[in-house]
Amino acid sequence: MKETKSVSDDSAVAESVSSVLYKNMVYLEQFAESILGYTSKYNSNMSISYAPENLIGKPSKFPDYGDFPETYMLRSYGKWWHKSEATQAHYMPQDADPVIAEDYVSVKFEYPVFPDLIIIYETYNPGAVVRLWGRMTGNSWKLLWEGPPQLCTQTSRKFTVKIKKIPNTINEVRIELNQSLLKYHTSLDAILLAGYRPKSALQSSIITKDLLNSISPKKTLKEIPPSCNDICENTDYFSSLPYEVLVHIFHYLDLRSLCRCSQVNQRFFEASVDASLYRELSLKRYWHKVDRNTLSYLMARCKTLKKLDLSWCGNDNMISEEIFVEFLQKCGSYLTHLSLGNCDFVKMTSLEQIGKCQEITDLRLRNAQCCSWRYNALANLKKLTALDLYSSNIVDDLLIDILKSNPNLKHLIIDFCSDLERLDQVTKVASQYNKNLITWSSWKTQSLTSVGVTNLARCNLLKELDLGWCLLLSDPGDCLERIAHGCKDLRRLIISGWRGINDHLLLPVIRSCKNLTQLDLLGVKTISKDIVERILASLSKLELLEISFCDSINSEQVAVWRQQYPQVTIQRSCEYVVVDYWDL
């Protein structure tokens, strides 16, 4: 009798051959050698403290736990940033990612390997990692692992998960993070990539070309049992629905489902390309797939487009500036909201075309780096209510022109804009032309003085004022008193790192700004416990008080306040190291 060999036997042979193949490779463990990109940081441009570059090489602090400037720290944490009125709402809620990534950092390693293990050394407030990607430089990104953010114990850890086995070598890793569950900033110390390095091109080809699968026969679909055929009816219930009802149903679908529906039949196709389905478009979660073909595909559908989020998309030349400009020319007539965070294709011609989209009210160009003088095209916009230029290279004169052209501006974010050298003049213009300002955020900009802060006191509608690290060494004078009297509806005040602040200078804020919910005094070394007690007793709406690195306040006293005022989150960093905060 002739013996038959089962599919399971062939699979076992293939798995055995694969195991031997990997064993004959070099198992390599390596740490990151360079930083490729990131969306968030804590350090200023001239400092290495808390910088992304601290991820390079072996861990410097692990297994110690605490707030170490030798690690990489992200700016935001918890729910507090989402409460800001300036926060960008999701443009397409029905297509929101079930595992939302708020930030990312990508790193490069010296040697390509077939990945086996990734270890992330977390030294402060772990639990933010939600997704791991890998690729060989220039190739497509492959998802290696994903999971929701975690609530973790307050201890350092090696974050290690079982990653997906892929038939590709990688030398780049991208980490996506969600800090929404964190009580304070998270810190990463190092990233280790372990895997198998081929000794020869033959070893690599056998795996990357999937030659081992030729050992096993292709699996075929089983026939549907006759009993199931009785259940499966061919009636098309959708055919009786009016076109408008079908389109209404499609409004609840995400983009992936919408594309699939377009392939069902002619009727579904016609409904799926209805322009009303593409008025609000968010492609951020598909950053690894979006390319010039995606924009070409959408051009015919986005004739009435109003909101577009392309953040994180198009890098590595996946989208050219030419195709983006063409897209705006054909689909930008009704555009009101445009978000292009970390988009490398945003250059000179892009800004010029954006300036021609006259209906834009909300523009976000986070981490945009192009010829600074090209920002003058944005002064052609007249209806802006929100402008986010976080870590862009805009200069004073062009920002002033934009402010003068947009009297209805409500939210301005210019954090980390290091090319702004005359912020006192910028605030003077804002106080004259932008009376509706609700949010001013200039965190870690360097040219602001007390004169410039005083100018903002004339923006009487201000609710959110972020001046963190702006007046490191300058004498604040009476600028806080002016702010307190002029902006009595302040809800959020960040003055971290203001060396010249004392108890007396804070009194006007306590007396006048009764609606404060967030007050950040991090690194204000000279304030006493008496003024903190007065803050807690007087500001009944306070939700967050940041008093880390305030030398006159000890941890024991903080513990007492937390018991007395449980409704207030009182932040106190783990100060295990001596930090000169004026250099951050």
pLDDT of residue 212: 54
User: Are residue 394 and residue 354 in the same domain, yes or no?
Assistant: no
pLDDT of residue 359: 98
Taking CB atoms within 8 Å and a gap of at least 24, the contacts of 141-148 are 141/174, 141/288, 142/166, 142/168, 142/170, 143/288, 144/115, 144/118, 145/118, 146/99, 147/99, 148/99, 148/178
In this prediction, residues 129-150 reach a mean pLDDT of 97
User: Are residue 525 and residue 444 in the same domain, yes or no?
Assistant: yes
pLDDT of residue 12: 55
Q: Could you tell me the pLDDT band of residue 223, with boundaries at 50, 70 and 90?
A: very low
CATH number, residue 257? 1.20.1280.50
Nearest-angstrom CA–CA distance, 402 and 399? 5
pLDDT over threshold 60, residue 480: yes
pLDDT of residue 372: 66
Question: Judging by beta carbons within 10 Å of its beta carbon (0-12, 13-18, 19+), is residue 253 exposed, middle or buried?
Answer: middle
pLDDT over threshold 60, residue 218: no
User: Are residue 270 and residue 284 in the same domain, yes or no?
Assistant: no
In a domain, 100, yes or no: yes
In this prediction, residues 527-536 reach a mean pLDDT of 96
Q: Helix, strand, or coil here: 207?
A: helix
In a domain, 518, yes or no: yes
Cα end-to-end span (Å), the chain: 80
In a domain, 218, yes or no: no
The number of distinct structural domains making up the chain is 4
Q: What is the pTM of this model?
A: 0.91
pLDDT over threshold 60, residue 582: no
pLDDT of residue 235: 63
pLDDT single digits (tens) 539-579: 999 999 999 999 999 999 999 999 999 999 999 987 554 34
CATH number, residue 494? 3.80.10.10
pLDDT of residue 18: 64
Closest CA to 311 of 92, 475, 465, 113: 92
- Percent of the chain topping pLDDT 90: 78
Nearest-angstrom CA–CA distance, 381 and 384? 7
Indicate the range of 54-63, 367-376, 499-508 predicted with least confidence.
Answer: 367-376
User: Are residue 337 and residue 388 in the same domain, yes or no?
Assistant: no
pLDDT of residue 227: 47
In this prediction, residues 25-47 reach a mean pLDDT of 94
Identity of the amino acid at 446: Q
Residue 117 sits in which domain range?
A: 21-209
pLDDT single digits (tens) 502-522: 999 999 999 999 999 999 999
How many angstroms from the chain centroid is the CA of residue 245? Answer: 36
Q: How many CA atoms lie within 13 A of 523 on its CB side?
A: 19
pLDDT over threshold 50, residue 356: yes
Whether the Cβ atoms of residue 426 and residue 451 lie closer than 8 Å to each other: no
In a domain, 225, yes or no: no
pLDDT of residue 104: 98
User: Are residue 310 and residue 169 in the same domain, yes or no?
Assistant: no
User: Are residue 195 and residue 301 in the same domain, yes or no?
Assistant: no
User: Are residue 286 and residue 273 in the same domain, yes or no?
Assistant: no
pLDDT single digits (tens) 70-104: 999 999 999 988 899 999 999 999 888 999 999 99
Q: Could you tell me the pLDDT band of residue 210, with boundaries at 50, 70 and 90?
A: low
Count of CB atoms situated within 10 Å of the CB of 426? 25
Task: Pinpoint the alpha helices (H) of 210-284.
Answer: 226-229, 243-250, 255-261, 266-272
User: Are residue 96 and residue 107 in the same domain, yes or no?
Assistant: yes
